[in-house]
Structure 1
Amino acid sequence: MIIPSRSMDMRHLSKYTVSAAFIVITLLVYLQGSPNLYAHHTRPDSSFHTTAKSHYHEHYHHNDSAETVGKEPSNEFPDLKNFNESRLESRPYKPYPAYNSAEWRKRWQGSHRACVGPRGVEVNENPADMPKAYRIQEPLTLPEPVFGSYHESGLDADHCFDRYSRLESYGFHGKKKRTNASMSVDWSKVDWGSLQHKCLLRNEDRFCHIPSPDATLTRLRAPQSANELGAHQAHNKHQQHPAAAQKDKKCKKRTAVVLRAYQEMTYTKDLSMQLRALISELSLHSGGEYTVFLLIEIRHAPKLLTSPTIYKFALHAFVPREFHNITLLWSVPSFTLPWYPGTNQALNQMLHMDQPLQLFAHLHPQFDHFWMMELDVRYTGHWYDLFANADAWARKQARRLLWERNARFYMPHLHRSYKEFGELVANQTVDGGVWGAPASTTSSLDPEGPTPPYPHPDNDTDYEWGVDEDAGFISFAPILPGPKDPTNPDWGIQKGFATPNSNDSAPRTYYLDATPAVRFSREMLGIMHATTRDYGVDILPEIGPATFAYLHGLKAVSFPLPTFYDPVGEGQPRTLEEIERGFNAQGVRNTPWRWGRGDRWNAVFARLTYAWVISRWEQFGTGIYRWWIHGSEVGTLGEKGRKEGRGRLCLPGVLIHPVKEGDVSGV
């Protein structure tokens, strides 16, 4: 038997070698025997920072001015090959708060200390460790999205990134024959887990609660005793997280970014660059505000987590060396089943997608928030700009009519400002809307969210309740109400619930069909964990989080993500009025999400840059990303078509899903 050496690059294993790895692991499991389940954009001071102000504000202030909608939405992104490059200059881009400034110190405890990156120097003052951006000014102009808004969300629309300026710091060279020596890195010798943890320790006085020295590198595990499992113990709604206990010290809460994957994942050059960007921009430059993890399910060797030898072999077989110490392996028999013995793990595994994250949060008390992302998500802008603005914007949303605003696509060219959009929603809501947890629930449910301060939402005339409250759940797509009966075949979710330990009828559901990138609070995942553990509930990830938030009266927010749309074929809505009528049709019988499993609306949703269906129709976001990363596009992008040949698209921050392995081959 050959154990892969630490220097082997497992990305280049053939299918036959991977199959052999499965066989070896299975033999090792057999030889080890059966396991015992209970056995052990305010600008920093920097001469090379881009000259524009940051769009990120820790205190988000709602912009009441009208959205700038002087031109129709389009998809005509600038191609730098069409401009005189002597007039264009990319500069290092840092959309971070003014760390250690007098204003910053009024709000936060401790000091921000620069962290060492993959090139062995502190990243905050090293241009080679930063993405570069082009300032949007004549002759450059950017198109405007149909849905969402840079203006209202706080996201930066004053800069754009081409493939070189965005990814060269993380290993992209394109057609360049030679690379600047300062940019060169032997990625196989980088240990991202160690870099993240050392960065955190440099900044430990800033945070409310940090782990023991090796806690971020530990493995996931099964319950160590029956007492720890605590079957049918009530969830303590008043239990205080360490961060909350020190609120008066202005400590910074921390966020985990958990990337879900399976053992078959191929770590292409494009995917590896995306992982490096996430870690560098979210963790290292921020001084440990975020920590990035890979959460990988090992499906073909279910007992491997009980053996250090097998675990080490699987880690070498399926994950590139640079990511070993950010990776946590798990399997159903050795992890989720021992924690949730009342669930039916033999059901469709789609019913269990949230369970590993629930347990991750349970075993990692140092985090207050948890982003869960799929590995086929790409962002052409800066990750910190996206996540920090999503958090700040969600925190400033009032609870009154929030569920009703969540259920609609915001279209600034029709709705104007977000304030006017809210007024439109209010005028269309006759019963006051959702106000706290619903009055009628299942007999076993004890809502854990706060009680509304007024008996009726109309009493909250100034929209105050919920402002400055952290969101329990954030989605980059609308959150829509579904049918009272989840077995309704029109919705394609008739197998979305499984509650073997409860005879209660299913409540009305708030249906979310967008799981590529979502954020949970610790409280939210704690409720989901306790419900799964105590009642054996299995639920689709498109349904579960929003439903739990609704039933427990937690704050759920749909972020107005700038999303571009490119209709093709017959029958797809084209004018703004047609798009509004189609996407924002209300009622469980009229909404297009009712037909979300059918070809007609699958084809429509596929033409969004952030699409949450995998369609046999061409995905618009995928095509844009191919053109951006390759410099050419194979096939068509919309009925107008695109010019083929070499080019350098310059994109603002565009969140794209899905981008599959075959879409970026040859990068």
Structure 2
Amino acid sequence: MSGRFSNIELNPRKLWVRTRFNYDKLPTADSQNSSPLFGSPFAKSWKSRNPWTDRRLRPRLSLSRMIMLLVTTLLLVSMIGSTIFKKHRWHGDRYKEERKKYHWEHYPRLRGFWNGVRTLVPPSEWVSEQTFAKSAETGGPEDWMKQKYPAISKDNKEPPMDPIPFNPYKFDSEAYLKDHHEVNPCYIDEAETIEAPDIYAYPGIPQNQTAPFFGSLEEIGMNDKVCFERFGRLGPYGYSYPREEGGLGMSGKSEAAGANKIWATEKKVDYRDVSWASAQRRCYDKNKHRFVKNETVPAEGEEAPPPKKKVPRHAYILRTWTGYKYSDYQILTIRAMINELSIKSGGEYDVHFLLHVKDDSIPIWSSEEVYRKTVEDNLPKEFWNMATLWSEQQMRMYYPEPFPNNVYNHAKAPIHSVYRSAHFALQWFSQVKPDYDYYWNWEMDLRFSGHYYEFNNKVGEWAKQQPRKGMWERASRYYIPELHGSWRNFTEMVEEEIYTSDEKPVWGPPKFDNTGMLDPLDEVIPPRPYLADDYEWGVGEEADIITFNPIFDPAKTNWVFRDDVTGYDLELPEPPRRCAIITVARLSKRLLDIMHRETYLMKHHMFPEMWPPTVAFHHGLKAVYAPHAVYFDHNWPLEIVDGVFNRPPKPTDSVFGWGEHNQLGNSFYYNAGFSSEWWRRWLGSRENDQGGADEEETGTGRLCMKSTLFHPVKFEKGSE
């Protein structure tokens, strides 16, 4: 046996492998003349000596010999077939036996997610599932041992409280009007007869509902004392009334006790002829005074009034592509985004579709007719005129080759492919539409159960108040409130870890060997030494990048794309870099401008999830990981969670690499498996033989959850 195969263990499980052998190249009867064997002198001599080539020389078979041959053949086929079947069955059984559970799958399943609206209690009486389970084990306070929600009656399935409008806008408050211009109300139609709808929440929480492991609504400043169910959240956007009335009629088989109470105060909107692009434009025009500097000139002899604060403008960008199918659930989500972020906010946001045209041969930049047809073929009518088209070919012209000195292209894809350079289109968008202060990069498989304006606004305000001291170090860790305590405690803990580590804290733009970098801005140079700063620098400064997963150092992990670095001197060490998994983020115009200049001037480039955080890091910009609520479907011990996610013993254990299986059971990561299940159960779907309309009807009712961000949700369905 040759050296190539001499060390192979003859393991039956390893024999069933796919090879790269091309069976099409085997010679056939039709290809004998071209075969190196047939047609050779050897072949001729072999043919002349072979009795089977001459019919007259072939031996004749007697009847008995034919029967014996047939019986022998059948026995051999039977034996071979039996052996193969046994091997297959043994292989399958062994595979099942060897399928070991991940360590976290051994922890108890959490079930409080599935408690419905009939178990609602006032927030002051709510006890989380984890606390309830712990008290059962340790003999905690007896009050915690009791499920305090009202007894569920077969005769009365109404929730114990009524839904109320959820209004996070404070535009009419005295405190707001003191510093800001008044907000003119916006309407959905041009005649200003259709008011922008409210959404509804229950002023309570299902008893023993599961608490998040990461993040805190209270810390971010969001309302954590309400929950949202599908009728109050999606009903005003057409979920619960028929198409004949302008809705989508999706709730016919859904458990709906008490759901109609929202229509006591809410009017149904006929969405059949709505143009959201026109509604957004009108809303901005009515409120332009909020977004430009106050230029009021006082009359002679009068004192100038104090200037009003300029309100920043946001582009909320949905990253979509040609051929994308918009389900009714997706349409509900997009209507909610536009209404809550743009129309109800008086034009603070504009929702855009950044639509990737996959076919490079379509001349989208040279024909208005082709451009319009491409939009109309790939977006529902109500969203026409909200799209900006782009293609990879367009990006090749905008950011032309060469991009030299790549360290390692693990994806084996061209640099202009969307897989490696999704940020190219975002950078370009910020240059052709430069009138925004912030750009939200939002993916189509994200879902949110709460109110969009509350979430986006509070995340931005919270990030603005974060100091720069310890900023990068805090952003690299998951915040676990039940373990770390308050955010102040968490901040002090991180500071102590910095002092006891061998690494210097980040303070301003990092210094590293390079042969070409843009100069940092003057305002990012620290005003005082690190130790002299009392968490003052950066407070009140808007964040240049807000991410929704930690911003980690990929060099300390085995994350697969950590070396996809281009344009830097290969004779020098790789530049320091940072990364946040999932490209979802809020980016400032300042950051996008620098990313654009780094790309076209310096030919610098990195994998999309690494590029914006790294540019912010290199240029000393303000970066924040927003600790939104993330849930787990197993009840991990908190010390184990902290050890696995925040301080893995070696790079290969990092949850941003080979250890990412630890993310499967949570509600927010690129491969989170629990996110889709929970979201569809909230919509009324039956998942894994659990939930659905019948169980909701006979059990605790439809689900009601706090504000939660989900990713990924690849498809949706409800009660069927």
TM-score calculated relative to the size of structure 1: 0.74
How far apart are residue 339 of structure 1 and its match? Answer: 1.5
How far apart are residue 290 of structure 1 and its match? Answer: 0.5
CA deviation vs aligned residue, 1:429-464 (integer Å, no higher than 9, x gap): 12551101002252311342434445531110x200
2:516 counterpart (422, 444, 454): 444
User: Which residue does 2:578 correspond to in 1?
Assistant: 510
8 A contact 2:277–2:384 mirrored in 1: yes
Matching residue's letter, 1:506: E
1:373 counterpart (429, 432, 442): 442
How far apart are residue 303 of structure 1 and its match? Answer: 3.2
Equivalent runs, 1:251-400 vs 2, <5 Å: 251-305=310-364, 306-333=366-393, 335-342=394-401, 346-347=414-415, 348-400=417-469
Looking at structure 1, the residues matched to 381 and 355 of structure 2 have their Cα atoms a distance apart, in angstroms, of: 15
Looking at structure 2, the residues matched to 189 and 70 of structure 1 have their Cα atoms a distance apart, in angstroms, of: 45
User: Which residue does 1:499 correspond to in 2?
Assistant: 567
Change (3 A) 1:81 1:391: farther
Equivalent runs, 1:26-45 vs 2, <5 Å: none
How far apart are residue 300 of structure 1 and its match? Answer: 1.9
CA deviation vs aligned residue, 1:152-211 (integer Å, no higher than 9, x gap): 11121111110011001112124349997975545342110000000000111111289x
8 A contact 2:473–2:505 mirrored in 1: yes
How far apart are residue 610 of structure 1 and its match? Answer: 1.1
Report SS of the residue matched to 1:545: helix
How far apart are residue 481 of structure 1 and its match? Answer: 1.3
How far apart are residue 386 of structure 1 and its match? Answer: 0.6
8 A contact 2:655–2:662 mirrored in 1: no
CA deviation vs aligned residue, 1:467-506 (integer Å, no higher than 9, x gap): 000101001111111218xxx8x32115622328987643
Looking at structure 2, the residues matched to 264 and 466 of structure 1 have their Cα atoms a distance apart, in angstroms, of: 44
1:466 counterpart (522, 535, 538): 538
CA deviation vs aligned residue, 1:608-655 (integer Å, no higher than 9, x gap): 1112236xxxx1111110000125333579xxx999555410011000
Does residue 1:549 correspond to 2:616, yes or no? yes
How far apart are residue 75 of structure 1 and its match? Answer: 12
User: Which residue does 2:251 correspond to in 1?
Assistant: 175
8 A contact 1:74–1:143 mirrored in 2: no
How far apart are residue 103 of structure 1 and its match? Answer: 1.9
Report SS of the residue matched to 2:686: coil
Between stretches 468-477 and 536-545, larger displacement belongs to 536-545
Looking at structure 1, the residues matched to 536 and 581 of structure 2 have their Cα atoms a distance apart, in angstroms, of: 29
Matching residue's letter, 2:275: D
8 A contact 1:302–1:332 mirrored in 2: no
How far apart are residue 365 of structure 1 and its match? Answer: 2.0
Report SS of the residue matched to 2:177: helix
8 A contact 2:446–2:711 mirrored in 1: yes
Overall identity of the aligned pairs, in %: 30
Does residue 1:566 correspond to 2:619, yes or no? no
User: Which residue does 2:496 correspond to in 1?
Assistant: 427
User: Which residue does 2:684 correspond to in 1?
Assistant: 630
Change (3 A) 1:365 1:631: same
Does residue 1:606 correspond to 2:668, yes or no? no
For the pair shown, which has the larger CA radius of gyration, 1 or 2?
2
For structure 1, the 5+ residue unaligned runs are 1-67, 211-246, 568-572
Looking at structure 2, the residues matched to 79 and 375 of structure 1 have their Cα atoms a distance apart, in angstroms, of: 37
Change (3 A) 1:186 1:501: farther
Change (3 A) 1:494 1:150: closer
2:290 counterpart (184, 192, 206): 206
User: Which residue does 2:37 correspond to in 1?
Assistant: none
User: Which residue does 2:72 correspond to in 1?
Assistant: none
User: Which residue does 1:526 correspond to in 2?
Assistant: 593
TM-score calculated relative to the size of structure 2: 0.68
Change (3 A) 1:187 1:69: closer
How far apart are residue 85 of structure 1 and its match? Answer: 2.1
Looking at structure 2, the residues matched to 327 and 501 of structure 1 have their Cα atoms a distance apart, in angstroms, of: 39
Matching residue's letter, 1:606: L
Change (3 A) 1:525 1:94: same
Change (3 A) 1:494 1:176: closer
Change (3 A) 1:417 1:634: same
Change (3 A) 1:323 1:426: same
Equivalent runs, 1:54-203 vs 2, <5 Å: 72=130, 84-85=157-158, 87-97=160-170, 99-108=171-180, 110-117=181-188, 121=192, 126=195, 129-136=197-204, 140=207, 142-173=209-240, 174-176=250-252, 184-203=268-287
Report SS of the residue matched to 2:467: coil
Aligned length: 534
Looking at structure 2, the residues matched to 654 and 140 of structure 1 have their Cα atoms a distance apart, in angstroms, of: 17
Calculate the aligned-residue CA RMSD, in Å: 3.4
Looking at structure 2, the residues matched to 304 and 643 of structure 1 have their Cα atoms a distance apart, in angstroms, of: 52
Report SS of the residue matched to 1:353: helix
User: Which residue does 1:540 correspond to in 2?
Assistant: 607
Looking at structure 1, the residues matched to 581 and 152 of structure 2 have their Cα atoms a distance apart, in angstroms, of: 39
Looking at structure 1, the residues matched to 158 and 337 of structure 2 have their Cα atoms a distance apart, in angstroms, of: 29
Looking at structure 2, the residues matched to 494 and 563 of structure 1 have their Cα atoms a distance apart, in angstroms, of: 25
Looking at structure 1, the residues matched to 286 and 177 of structure 2 have their Cα atoms a distance apart, in angstroms, of: 17
Between stretches 174-183 and 506-515, larger displacement belongs to 174-183
Looking at structure 2, the residues matched to 602 and 627 of structure 1 have their Cα atoms a distance apart, in angstroms, of: 24
Matching residue's letter, 1:548: V
8 A contact 1:401–1:432 mirrored in 2: no
8 A contact 2:127–2:209 mirrored in 1: no
Looking at structure 2, the residues matched to 363 and 261 of structure 1 have their Cα atoms a distance apart, in angstroms, of: 18
Report SS of the residue matched to 2:600: helix
User: Which residue does 2:637 correspond to in 1?
Assistant: 575
Looking at structure 1, the residues matched to 645 and 203 of structure 2 have their Cα atoms a distance apart, in angstroms, of: 33
Change (3 A) 1:264 1:336: same
Between stretches 541-550 and 520-529, larger displacement belongs to 541-550
8 A contact 2:685–2:717 mirrored in 1: no
8 A contact 1:441–1:551 mirrored in 2: no
Looking at structure 1, the residues matched to 377 and 654 of structure 2 have their Cα atoms a distance apart, in angstroms, of: 43
Between stretches 583-592 and 360-369, larger displacement belongs to 583-592
Change (3 A) 1:209 1:74: farther
